[in-house]
Amino acid sequence: MSASWVTATIEGASREVAIRFGAGHILMARQTGDGRDGAQTPAPLDLLLASLGACTAITLKQYAAARNWSLEVVEVDLEVFSLGGSTSVTRLLSFRGSLDSNQREELLAAADHTPVTLLLAHATRIRTELA
């Protein structure tokens, strides 16, 4: 996996964070609130789930293409649960295409080996420093 960099900046009394990616893209995120502010901007946890979903969909589509399987659509639904100090993510995969049950099971197994899945599933060391 190649190195990536992202810069997140929040200014003044704003509740939104500007996220700048190395490729020059900018995405906005909002401070997690009570959900009643009508914000259309995703919260940080939404972006984390989006990363997992995007990585899963891309990897499985490529996996099927490399095997010449007829996989037209990959849909990944994600939900995070926190209970008693433990957090888990449920990932529901839906496929459209002419896949047999063995191919579907192989894609299910492959989902556990996508780059973002591996990063989240294993203890990731985060080193924090002052600039």
Is the pLDDT reported for residue 1 higher than 50? Answer: no
Q: How far apart are the first and last CA of the chain?
A: 25
- The first and second tokens of residue 84, run together, are 């008693």
> What is the fold, at CATH topology level, of the domain defined by 43-131?
GMP Synthetase; Chain A, domain 3 (3.30.300)
Can you tell me the mean pLDDT for 31-59? 81
Can you tell me the mean pLDDT for 103-126? 93
Is the pLDDT reported for residue 71 higher than 90? Answer: yes
**4 three-state secondary structure:** coil
CA angle 87, 88, 89 (to 5 degrees): 135
Is the pLDDT reported for residue 38 higher than 70? Answer: no
Query: From start to end of 31-85, where are the E strands?
Result: 70-83
Is the pLDDT reported for residue 118 higher than 90? Answer: yes
Spatial separation of the C-alpha atoms in residues 112 and 100, rounded to whole Å:
20
Q: Which of 55, 70, 47 is nearest to 111 (CA)?
A: 55
Q: Say if CB 41 and CB 28 are below 8 A apart.
A: yes
Q: Which helix (H) or strand (E) holds 93?
A: strand 86-98
Domain-wise residue ranges, the chain: 1-37, 43-131
CA distance to 37, 40, 109, per residue, from 30 (Å): 11, 9, 34
